[in-house]
Structure 1
Amino acid sequence: MEENSMTPHAKRAYSRLFLFIVLIAAIVSSSSRIIVHAAVKVPDTIRVAFFINLGANKYQLLTSAATLQSAGGLNLVWRDPKVSLPAGSIPAGQSVRFAMDGYRVLILETAELNAAISVLKKVQASSSAAFVTQLSKNGKTVYQVTEGNYSSAAGANSALTKWTNAGVASGIQTLLSPRIAGPWAVEAGPYASVAEAKATADQIGNSSGLDAFPALKPIDGTLNYVVRIGQETDSSVLAAVQQAASAAGALNVRVPAAGEPYAAIRNDMTYNGSANKPVPLYAIPSGAGAVLRAEPAGAGGIQLIERSKRTYRGNMEMSVLNQSLAVVNEVDFEQYLYSVVGAEIGSKWPIEAQKAQAVAARSYALSSGMGYQIAHVVDTTLSQAYYGIGYENANATAGVNQTAGEVLTMGGKAVKAVFSSNSGGITADSKIEIWGGDNSYLASAVPSPDEGPQNGRLDWYHVALPSGQAGYIRSDLLADSGQDHANGAKLLRVTGDGTAVRSSPRVVSTVEPIARIGSGTLVVELGKVAEYSDYSWIEAPMTPEQLLASINKRAKNDITGPLLTLEVSKTGPSGRATEIKANGIAVNVGVPDNLRGALNGLKSTLINIEETGRFTILNGSEEQREIHGQTGSLHVIGGDGQAEAISGPNLYIMDGNGQLRAATSTPKFVISGKGFGHGVGMSQWGAKALAEQGYDYQYILKYYYKNVLIEKDA
C-alpha cells in the first residue's frame, strides 16, 4: 500500500475544506427550507360549486337558472353515468341558459312580447325564478310567463294562488287561464338534427295548440333529438296528449318512462327581454343523473352571469341535485389557486406572502376531499374566495407557480390549513375559542404582527357635543383650544364648517352623521381611538332590540326581553369571547365562533362590550346602587342643592379617577374589538408583515402551523 504523499500544508487545507463542506451540509440540513418529496397527490383538477343544494341544515346556495357565455364560443357535452357525448355548440359571445325542468306557475300566455316583459318585471320584483318562453302555437308566436322551479305540483299550486291573487297579469289579454306547468310530456322522434326537431315542434304547436319543444335524448349510446309535447303536472293525462300529438302529425309518439334522461330546449326571452333575441335554455329533469357540460371553444374563460358576471377558467357542469339546479366549475387545480390567492390577499403584497397563501390554500383545498358531494369546495369564503380570472394577478400567479404542488401535511395527509384576514395581534385557539376539534397543527395564542391595516390612518376623537350627544370626529378636523372643561377634560375646537360627527370612528357613505357642527365649536374630549379597520374597530352603539333579535335568531335558548345587560362572561387563551351572558343568562350558540353572528355580525370574537346604560352610583348615604335599565327616573343634585330628573338619552359620568365617561339613560351597547375573521391558523396580514421583515414563506407557514411538513406532489 503506497504511503500518503500530501504535505502538512496540503493536509491542513484539505481538512479546512472538508470541515467547510461538513458545516455547509449541517446548515442546509437544519434549515427550514426543506421540501419533502412524498406520496402526497395533488389532483390535476378541482371541482368548485357555485350553486348547490346539499339539503336542509346543510350548505344551500340556490339559483333558478345559470346563464353562460364565452368570447370564443362554447361546446356542449352531454354526460350521464353511461355516456359522454357532444351536444352542440354556442357561437362566440352568445348566451346559453340552464334550469331544472320542474313545476312552474304559468301566469300568462300572450302574443305580445312587451306585455309578457311587463308581467315578467312585476314578478321579478319578488321572485328570482321568473321566465319568459317563446314558442309557436295555433299559427302564431306566443310568450309564456312562468314563475318558479318547484319540486312538486303542490308547491307550484300554492304559488299559483299567490300570483293569481296578486293580479300581476290583470288588464293583459291572455290566451289561457293561469295554470301549473309540469315536467310530464310525451315524446316524438327521434330526428336527425336540432333544426328538424325544432321545425317539428313548431308544426305540432301550430296545428294542435300543444306546447312542444325540441329536446336532447340519449338512445342506445348516441345522442338524439326528440320533441317533447306537453307541460303536464302528472302522467294521468299523457295518453290524451299522445293521441292529440299523433293527430297533429307527430311520428313515433310515446310516453317515456319516469326517470328517462332528457334536456328540453326552450327559447328563453328572460335574459335578452325586449331585444327579441331568444336564448336557448336547457331544462334538465331531476332524478335522471344527466349533466350538461359547457367547455370553452376558444381562448378565454366562461362568464357566469348569476355569479356577478365573473369569468372563470375551466368547464362548467349543470345538473340537478336535491331538486335544485347545481352549477360546478371543474378547473385546473393550480389555475384555481391563481384566482384564490389573487382574491384572498393584495396584489402588491410581498412574494413570500403570496407563496405562503398559495401553499395554505392548496393544502386547505386538498384536505377538503369531495366535501360538497359533487364538488370539493365552494367559491365563497366558507371554503376560499374564488372569483375567477378577473381576480388573478402576476404576483399571485408567481406565488402559485413557485410553490407548485407544495402542501402542508401531518402524518402523510394534507392539513386543513385554515386562515383568516387579520387575527387582531394574536391567533385564536381553535379547540377552545372557535370550532373545537383537532388543534394540534394550529398555532394557539401566538403573537401576530397584524397592525398593517392601521398604517396611514388617522386617529379619531370620541367627543361630547354641546347638545349632549356623543360621537366621533377625525383628528385632523379638530385642534386643541387650550381650554379645559370644568371637570378637567380637554376642550377641542372644530376647524371646519359642517364637520361630521359619526357614530363610530369611520366614514360610511351610506350612513348619515349623527350631527354636523360648525367651525369654532368646542367639544369635550372623552378619548382618542384608532380609525375603524380590520385590525381595530368600534361598532356604532346598538340598541337592546337589535341585539336581542340577533341573539335569539341564533341562540338555542331564547333570551326573554327586554335586554338589560350583556357581557363577556368567559374568554379563551387569546382573550377571545367563548361565552356571553344576556340578562345574566349564558347564551348557547353552539361553537364560540357563532357569537360573531349572534352579536349582529361582528368582525371577530376578540371583543369588549361596553354597557353604556350600566353604571354604579353612590347615594347620599354612601350606599352603592347599580343602574342598568331599571324602572323609574334618575335624578342628579346640582351645586345649588336642587334635584333634577335626567330627561335626555345621554349623560356623562366622572369616575373615582377623574375620567369622564359617556353613558346613556337607557341600555345601549358599544362593542369594540380586534381582528377580522375567526383568527385560526395563518393571519394574512401577519404573513404580509413577516414577509416584509424578511422571512420566507416556509418560516411564515411553520410560524402559524405547528408540527407540519411541507411536502411536494410526487
Structure 2
Amino acid sequence: MKTLTLLSSHSFEVTQKGVQLLSGRPGIQYRIELRNAVVSLGEKGSQNTVRLPGSFCIESKGNPDGSFIIKKIEYARGFAWSGIEDRQYRGKIEVTVIGGGFRLVNELNLEEYLMSVVPSEMMTSFPVEALKAQAVIARSFALHRARFVRPHKENGFDLCDSQHCQVYKGVSNEWEKTTRTVTETRGEVLLANGQITSPLYHANCGGHTQSSRDLKGWGDLSYLSGVLDAPRQVPFPTSPAAFERWVKSRPPTYCSSQDAAFRWFRLLPAYFLEEKINRQHKIGTLLKITVLKRSPSGNTASVRVEGSEGTLVIEKEHEIRRLLGLGPLRSTLFWIETKYDERGRPQTFSVYGGGWGHGVGMCQEGAGGMAKEGFNYRQILTHYYKNVTLKKLEY
C-alpha cells in the first residue's frame, strides 16, 4: 500500500516520538502518499502537502473517543478470506514505511480491542452467557499471546488482526450486545497454576472436545483436556461400530443445534485425492486409506494412505484435514468408507464427519447450547477448561 486515505472523527495530530509535527481537522479526507521514498500528507485534492518522516503516529487531539476511518485496508493477505475494505479504528495509528509501502499498527487498550474481537469470533446472535465466556477467553488468549508467545515481536507489534491471533476488524464490527459482555467481564481472565492460560476455542466439537496432548506437536496442557459436550447421561461410543453410529447420527449434545457444522458429509473422488496427494508425496495410484488411531474424543489421530509406489502416514491434525478433502475437511472427527470399482481400486471415499475446527478447548456452539439451558459463563468456562480459576485484573 503506497497511498493511505483517512478521515478522523475529531481533530487529530501527527507526532513522532511525542513531538507534534502537524494537526488535522475532523471530517476531512487526508491523503498520505509514498513516492520516491518520500512520505507526504495533505488534504485530498489539494496540492499543499507536508513532508513526513518514515515513521509517525496519528491520534485524536485530546479526545479519548476519537476514531479514524482508513480507506481500502487490505486484510488477511494470503488467506482465502482476504479482501479490501474501509475500516474504522479507535486509539492511535502508528504508520511505518516498510517494503515500499506502509505498515499500520493500531495501538489501543485491551478492552476496546475486545469490543471488536468478540463479535468477530462469535456470532452476536449467541446467548449473552456464551458471549461472556467468549470475552473471558479472548481476553486471556490475547494477554497470554502478547506476553508469553510474542509471535510478532520482530515486527514491532503484539497481535495481528487475523485468525493467526484473533480476528479484529475495528469499530465497524462492534455491537452493543457484545460490548456489554466485554464491559460486564472487564479484566476477567482464566488462570491455571497461577498463570494466564491460552484457552483455545473452535466452532463446533461434534460432541466431544479433544485434549491438546492428543494432537501431535500441541503439548500436554492439563486445562485443555477433552470433555463430553453433553449431559452426563448421554453415552459416548467406546467401539468402532458405536462410533460409526455416533458420527452418522445426531446425538443430543450441547453443540448439536447447528446442522452444517455438527454433522457433515463429503463424497471424494479417488482420482482427485490421488492427484492432490501426489503433488507433495509420490504414492502412485491410490489404493487404500486407513484410520490407524483415534483419540479418546473419536478424532482421527493417524491415517495411512497406501499407493502403488509408496505409503504415507499422516499424523498432524491440519495435514489430515488438508490432504483428505476437496478443500480442507472441517475437522478430524470422521468415519470414512470406500467404494471400489470392478478392478478392486478405490472409486470414491464417503466421509461422514462431525464438528468444525481443531476441537480443543471451548466449543463455541456448545457454549451457546449450554447458555440456552441456563448455564452461566463461569459454568461454561469450567466445563471446557479443567482446573482453572477466574481472576479479575485491575487496570
TM bin, normalised by shorter chain, reads: 0.7 to 0.9
Q: 1:78 to 1:384 in 2, by over 3 A?
A: same
- Which amino acid in 1 is paired with 2:179? T
Give the Å deviation of 1:419.
Answer: 0.6
Q: Aligned letter for 2:126?
A: W
Which residue is equivalent to 2:273?
547
Q: In the alignment, which residue of structure 2 is the partner of 1:464?
A: none
CA contact (8 A) 2:291 2:302 kept: yes
User: Residue 445 of structure 1: CA displacement?
Assistant: 4.3
Moved more, 434-443 or 672-681: 434-443
Q: 2:323 aligns with which of 576, 591, 598?
A: 598
Aligned position for 2:289? 566
Residues 520-572 of structure 1: per-residue CA shift (max 9 Å, x gap): xxxxxxxxxxxxx1211123x3344543454456x5xx133343433433222
Give the CA deviation at 1:414: 0.6
**Residue from 416, 419, 427 that aligns with 2:198:** 416
Tell me how far apart the structure 2 counterparts of residues 698 and 86 of structure 1 sit (CA, whole Å). 46
| Residue among 37, 58, 71 paired with 1:294 | 58
Q: What is the SS of the residue equivalent to 1:306?
A: strand
Amino acid of the residue matched to residue 673 of structure 1?
Answer: G
Per the alignment, do residues 561 and 303 of structure 1 end up closer, same or farther by CA in structure 2, a change over 3 Å counting? farther
Q: What is the TM-score with the length of structure 1 in the denominator?
A: 0.45
Q: Secondary structure at the match of 1:534?
A: helix
Q: What 5-or-longer segments of structure 1 have no aligned partner?
A: 1-63, 102-181, 184-262, 285-289, 455-532, 618-625, 630-666
Instruction: Give runs of aligned pairs for residues 677-692 of structure 1, distance below 5 A.
Output: 677-692=357-372
What are the superposed Cα offsets for residues 179-211 of structure 1, whole Å, 9 maximum, x if unpaired?
xxx65xxxxxxxxxxxxxxxxxxxxxxxxxxxx
Cα gap change, 1:705 to 1:78, in 2 (>3 Å): same
Partner of 1:166: none
Confirm whether residue 318 of structure 1 aligns to residue 95 of structure 2.
yes
The AA in structure 2 aligned to 1:97 is I
1:1-49 alpha-carbon deviations (Å, 9 max, x no partner): xxxxxxxxxxxxxxxxxxxxxxxxxxxxxxxxxxxxxxxxxxxxxxxxx
Contact 1:98 1:282 in 2 (8 A): no
Q: How does 1:91-490 map to 2 (within 5 A)?
A: 91=25, 92-97=27-32, 183=37, 264-265=39-40, 290-297=54-61, 300-304=66-70, 305-307=72-74, 308-320=85-97, 325-369=102-146, 370-373=150-153, 374-433=156-215, 435-448=217-230, 449-454=254-259
Partner residue of 2:22 out of 88, 92, 96:
88
* Cα separation, 2, equivalents of 1:283 and 1:589: 52
5 Å-filtered alignment, 1:46-57, equals none
Q: Which residue among 368, 377, 381 is the counterpart of 1:701?
A: 381
| Structure 1 residues 667-682: aligned runs within 5 Å | 667-682=347-362
Residue 215 of structure 1 is matched in structure 2 by: none
The equivalent residue for 1:69 is 6
What SS class does the counterpart of residue 317 from structure 1 fall into?
A: strand
Aligned residue for 1:582? 305
| C-alpha distance in structure 2 between counterparts of 1:266 and 1:398, whole Å | 38
Identical columns (%): 29
**SS of equivalent to 2:264:** strand
SS of equivalent to 2:286: coil
Contact 2:33–2:39 (8 Å) recurs in 1:
no
SS at match of 1:347: coil
The Cα shift of 1:442 comes to 1.0
Task: Write the deviation string for residues 277-326 of structure 1: whole angstroms up to 9, x where unpaired.
Answer: 67969787xxxxx5322224565522232242122222221225678743
Say whether residues 1:628 and 2:345 are aligned partners: yes
Match of 2:335 in 1: 608
Distance 1:680 1:393, change over 3 A: same
> 2 CA distance for matches of 1:282 and 1:597?
48
8 Å Cα contact 2:190/2:388 also seen in 1: yes
Amino acid at match of 2:40: I
In the alignment, is the contact (CA less than 8 A) between 2:32 and 2:39 conserved in 1? no
How many residues matched? 348
Shift in CA distance, 333/566, structure 1 to aligned 2, threshold 3 Å:
same
Q: For residues 294 and 590 of structure 1, what CA distance do their matches in structure 2 show?
A: 47
Structure 2 distance, partners of 1:561, 1:74, is: 66
Contact residue 422 and residue 675 of structure 1 kept, 8 A: yes
Residues 604, 95 of structure 1: alpha-carbon distance in 2 compared, 3 angstrom cutoff:
farther
C-alpha contact 1:73 1:93 (8 A) present in aligned 2: no
Q: Could you tell me how far 1:681 is from its partner in structure 2?
A: 0.2
Provide, for residues 486-515 of structure 1, a one-character-per-residue CA deviation record: whole Å limited to 9, x for no partner.
Answer: xxxxxxxxxxxxxxxxxxxxxxxxxxxxxx
Find the structure with the greater CA-based Rg: 1
Q: Give the superposition deviation at 1:267.
A: 8.2
Give the root-mean-square deviation of aligned CA atoms. Answer: 3.1
Deviations 1:373-431 (A, max 9, x none): 12222111221121222221122111111111011011221100111111111102222
CA distance in 2 between partners of 1:377 and 1:293 (Å): 18
Query: 1:265 offset after TM fit, Å?
Result: 2.1
* Contact in 2 for aligned 1:537/1:673 (Cα 8 Å): yes
Contact in 1 for aligned 2:13/2:20 (Cα 8 Å): yes
